Amino acid sequence: MKLYTELAEYYFDIEKSGRKFDEEIYFLDDLFKKHKIRSVIDMGCGTGEHVKALQSRGYEIVGIDSSDKMVNVAKKRFPHCKFDIGFMQGYQASHHYDGIVFLFGTFNYLITDEEIKSALKLLQQNLKPSGLAIFEIWNAEPIRKIKRKPITNVATLKSGQIQIKRHRGFRLTRSDQATVVDVNYVYNLDARELKDKHTMRVFFWNEIKAKLEDFKFEILNVYGNYKMDKFKSNGGRILIVAKKKA
């Protein structure tokens, strides 16, 4: 996926146009304080912005990403923060953590049931008893209804001296026992064009809820966004706060 390799140095500038970063940090900080969370893994940390922001608030935090290019950018940008290369379904932490977060659809890159089971098993192993897990997951409901969306321009932005135009569309490719979608991107960087495809599994609320409960997680809350608005079945996002059962 070129966003995480060839475009790694531009990643945060590309993504921040569609995110509310300060709102996300406030949400996490508020939850962590409420549940007495002090140590955190950011799984799928990208170029490290959440790691830096949470570390500056006093949390012991490590950022994990499967892309060595993304981790290298993160280390260069934030040399006093801790980052490591690892996969959701294969990362074994050196000690147990109070909380683990999967932000911005990170969990949706797990396609097969086997991958999901491996990731949740390791999540259990890496968390302390009563530890917190937070998932930002893309919802299958609207994608099943729409099925296909043509590629259109979704953002025009600047990264340093480079102008970047981002175009996005998607196509439902599987809808039997799992809902799988190809998200297609075209990036124009001045005179250069890059095409990129992300294959993702999206989930219905009851589907992801059952998977978490199978691995002994208690669902504490489910939201539709970082403002803690109520989750709606036709919304694009499922924001889950779960606790490992002691």
Q: Residue 47: which CATH number?
A: 3.40.50.150
Q: Are residues 208 and 188 in the same domain?
A: no
pLDDT value, residue 213: 98
pLDDT value, residue 160: 87
Q: How many helices (H) and strands (E) does the chain have?
A: 7, 11
pLDDT value, residue 119: 97
Q: Considering 201, 220, 235, which residue would you say is the last residue of a domain?
A: 201
pLDDT value, residue 190: 86
Q: Are residues 218 and 171 in the same domain?
A: no
The rounded distance, in Å, linking the Cα atoms of 174 and 195 is 22
The conformation of residue 65, written as its DSSP 8-state character, comes to E
Number of domains in the chain: 2
Question: What's at 21, amino acid-wise?
Answer: F
Q: Are residues 17 and 92 in the same domain?
A: yes
Instruction: Report the candidate in 82, 63, 52, 50 with the shortest Cα–Cα distance to residue 226.
Output: 50
Q: Are residues 105 and 36 in the same domain?
A: yes
CA atoms within 13 Å, Cβ hemisphere of 102:
27
The rounded distance, in Å, linking the Cα atoms of 105 and 208 is 13
Q: Are residues 29 and 128 in the same domain?
A: yes
pLDDT value, residue 62: 98
pLDDT value, residue 1: 80
The conformation of residue 1, written as its DSSP 8-state character, comes to -
Q: Are residues 187 and 230 in the same domain?
A: no
Asked if residue 17 lies in contact with residue 160, where contact means CB atoms within 8 angstroms, the answer is: no
In 10 A of CB 32, how many CB atoms? Answer: 22
pLDDT value, residue 198: 97
pLDDT value, residue 19: 84
Asked if residue 71 lies in contact with residue 49, where contact means CB atoms within 8 angstroms, the answer is: no
Q: Are residues 197 and 213 in the same domain?
A: no
Q: Are residues 145 and 219 in the same domain?
A: no
In 10 A of CB 80, how many CB atoms? Answer: 7
The rounded distance, in Å, linking the Cα atoms of 224 and 243 is 18
The rounded distance, in Å, linking the Cα atoms of 213 and 242 is 9
Q: Which residues contact 153 (CB under 8 A, 6 or more apart)?
A: 165, 166, 167
Assigned token pair, 169: 């569309």
Planar angle of CA 83, 224, 109, nearest 5 degrees: 45
Domain that holds residue 105: 2-139+203-244
Q: Are residues 43 and 81 in the same domain?
A: yes
Q: Are residues 33 and 124 in the same domain?
A: yes
Q: Are residues 146 and 233 in the same domain?
A: no
Q: Residue 193: which CATH number?
A: 2.20.130
Mode of pairing for the β-strands spanning 82-85 and 60-65: parallel
pLDDT value, residue 39: 98
Q: Which residues of the chain have pLDDT under 70?
A: none
Q: Are residues 131 and 12 in the same domain?
A: yes
- What's this model's pTM, rounded to 2 decimal places? 0.94
Looking at the DSSP bridge assignments, the partners of residue 43 are: 64
pLDDT value, residue 16: 83
